[in-house]
């Protein structure tokens, strides 16, 4: 009985929380589209959280609301808007007054920006709420995770090590005064020293050590992970007074927006997927953070919400950015794009997305379980449970 309860607490509940959390992010995003469709009187035949076979559906008013088995996605079916895998599409060519196609340009923009905006609002609200209500009083900087064969791992750093100083900068004293600033100084120092050796003073239990870390050649930012070092630093969350909580929550979210935007720009400018994670890695990170408590998991969801918002700004046919581009082109040329051209772009974008998802899934399994892919696949579920 005790073993069963331990299994539920340590594995099953974090798994459910992770799935539920991804569902929340999708729901927030799609609700952003839905609310503007309703405001502008655009007919919405169906609204779905998840893809695949339905778990539950209910019609409220004129819209069918559906919950499906696959949590990594969702859609709002919009009359007058043809999109792949977005419901039955029976009203895709609707040209009535309640269709998307009949609405002015500014309303079309708000429909697509709604999902992006709601994801950012979720991130801002989460960070502000954590700084306002969290009971966590941590102020010191601790290592959250170590990348396999990373500079941090090679140098002997361990998860849980408390960083007291870097290159003679006293981070412990700074963290007591302003923990967010201390973490910022640490990350900026690491980023500014690729291909160099930095000196870290760490506290490990009762022992204090000075460890030289030879940093790598590139900076890859993913979930506050510095690729030149291979070490993650969980954001420090402390309860603050009302005004300070709002200011700090906004500043923290802004910092993540800049960090993630820089990562996306690096992926394109360097033409490399070295810093990208796929569905398996995202799910694994969600599962791992859920095991560390609700505060850590809420931080993860806020960061993923920013990721989702910025990813959807990319000008691909299957993203909101792609639909924004279509709407802008149609506004300039004063006529709808031919349906065949839109379909070709949408199918090509979907194919590219599925290919990247498959490649990143392969890459994730290699990262998590080594180069033996079949062994990785066989051990994936047992490692989760």
CB atoms within 10 A of CB 360: 19
CA–CA separation, 171 and 163 (whole Å)? 7
Q: Are residues 83 and 145 in the same domain?
A: no
Which pLDDT does position 373 carry in this prediction? 47
Backbone phi and psi for residue 272, each to the nearest 5 degrees, phi listed first: -140, 145
Residue 226 has pLDDT above 70, yes or no: no
pLDDT tens digits for 58-95? 999 999 999 888 777 788 999 988 776 666 678 878 88
- Give residue for tokens 């050590």: 209
Domain interval for residue 337: 2-131+307-384
Q: Are residues 158 and 192 in the same domain?
A: yes
CA–CA separation, 15 and 191 (whole Å)? 33
Q: Which of 20-29, 172-181, 338-347 is modeled with the greatest confidence? A: 20-29
Say which residue, 118 or 222, is predicted with more confidence: 118
Which pLDDT does position 219 carry in this prediction? 44
Average the pLDDT over 284-295 and give the result: 69
Q: Are residues 366 and 313 in the same domain?
A: yes
Which pLDDT does position 217 carry in this prediction? 60
Inter-residue contact 195 to 215 (CB < 8 Å)? yes
CB atoms within 10 A of CB 314: 15
Residue 262 lies in a domain: no
Domain endpoint, select from 176, 201, 236: 236
Residue 331 lies in a domain: yes
Angle at Cα 351 formed by Cα 346 and Cα 356, nearest 5°? 125
CA–CA separation, 112 and 170 (whole Å)? 46
Inter-residue contact 78 to 92 (CB < 8 Å)? no
Which pLDDT does position 73 carry in this prediction? 78
Which 8-state DSSP code applies to residue 228? T
pLDDT band at 292 (very low <50, low <70, confident <90, very high): low
Residue 268 has pLDDT above 60, yes or no: yes
Residue 164 has pLDDT above 70, yes or no: yes
Which pLDDT does position 361 carry in this prediction? 64
Q: Are residues 46 and 110 in the same domain?
A: yes
Domain endpoint, select from 236, 265, 284: 236
Residue 322 lies in a domain: yes
Domain endpoint, select from 236, 271, 288: 236
Inter-residue contact 299 to 235 (CB < 8 Å)? yes
Residue 296 lies in a domain: no
pLDDT tens digits for 170-207? 888 887 777 777 877 887 888 777 778 889 898 888 88
Which pLDDT does position 203 carry in this prediction? 87
Which pLDDT does position 385 carry in this prediction? 38
Residue 294 lies in a domain: no
For 327, the token pair is 């709407």
Residue 226 lies in a domain: yes
CA–CA separation, 204 and 208 (whole Å)? 6
Which of 155-159, 279-283, 341-345, 373-377 has the lowest average pLDDT?
373-377
60 pairs with which residues across the strands? 63
């Amino acid at each position: 009985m005790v073993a069963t309860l331990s299994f539920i607490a340590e594995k099953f509940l974090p798994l459910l929380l992770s799935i539920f959390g991804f569902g929340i992010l999708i729901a927030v995003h799609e609700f952003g589209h839905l609310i503007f469709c309703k405001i502008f009187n655009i007919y919405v035949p169906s609204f779905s959280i998840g893809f695949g076979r339905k778990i539950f559906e209910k019609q409220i008013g004129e819209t069918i609301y559906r919950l499906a088995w696959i949590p990594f996605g969702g859609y709002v079916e919009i009359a007058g808007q043809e999109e792949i895998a977005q419901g039955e599409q029976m009203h895709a060519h609707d040209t009535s007054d309640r269709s998307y196609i009949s609405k002015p340009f500014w309303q079309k923009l708000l429909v697509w920006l709604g999902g992006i905006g709601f994801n950012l609002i979720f991130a801002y609200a989460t960070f502000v709420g954590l700084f306002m209500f969290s009971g966590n009083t941590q102020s010191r900087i601790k290592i959250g995770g170590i990348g396999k064969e990373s500079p941090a791992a090679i140098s002997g750093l361990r998860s849980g090590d408390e960083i007291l100083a870097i290159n003679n900068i006293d981070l412990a004293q700074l963290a007591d005064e302003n923990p967010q600033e201390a973490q910022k100084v640490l990350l900026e120092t690491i980023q500014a020293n690729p291909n160099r050796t930095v000196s870290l003073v760490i506290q490990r239990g009762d022992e204090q050590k000075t460890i030289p870390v030879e940093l790598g050649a590139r900076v890859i930012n993913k979930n506050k992970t510095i690729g030149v070092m291979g070490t993650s630093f969980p954001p420090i969350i402390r309860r603050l007074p009302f005004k300070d909580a709002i200011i700090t929550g906004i500043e923290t979210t802004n910092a993540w927006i800049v960090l993630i935007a820089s990562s996306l720009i690096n992926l394109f400018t360097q033409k490399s997927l070295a810093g990208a994670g796929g569905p398996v890695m995202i799910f694994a990170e969600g599962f791992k953070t859920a095991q560390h408590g609700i505060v850590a998991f809420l931080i993860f969801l806020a960061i993923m919400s920013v990721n989702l918002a910025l990813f959807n700004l990319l000008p691909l046919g299957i993203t909101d950015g792609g639909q924004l581009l279509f709407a802008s082109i149609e506004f300039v040329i004063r006529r709808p794009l031919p349906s065949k051209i839109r379909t070709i772009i949408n199918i090509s974008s979907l194919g590219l997305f599925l290919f990247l998802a498959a490649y990143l899934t392969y890459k994730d399994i290699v990262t998590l379980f080594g180069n033996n892919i079949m062994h990785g696949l066989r051990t994936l579920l047992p490692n989760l449970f």
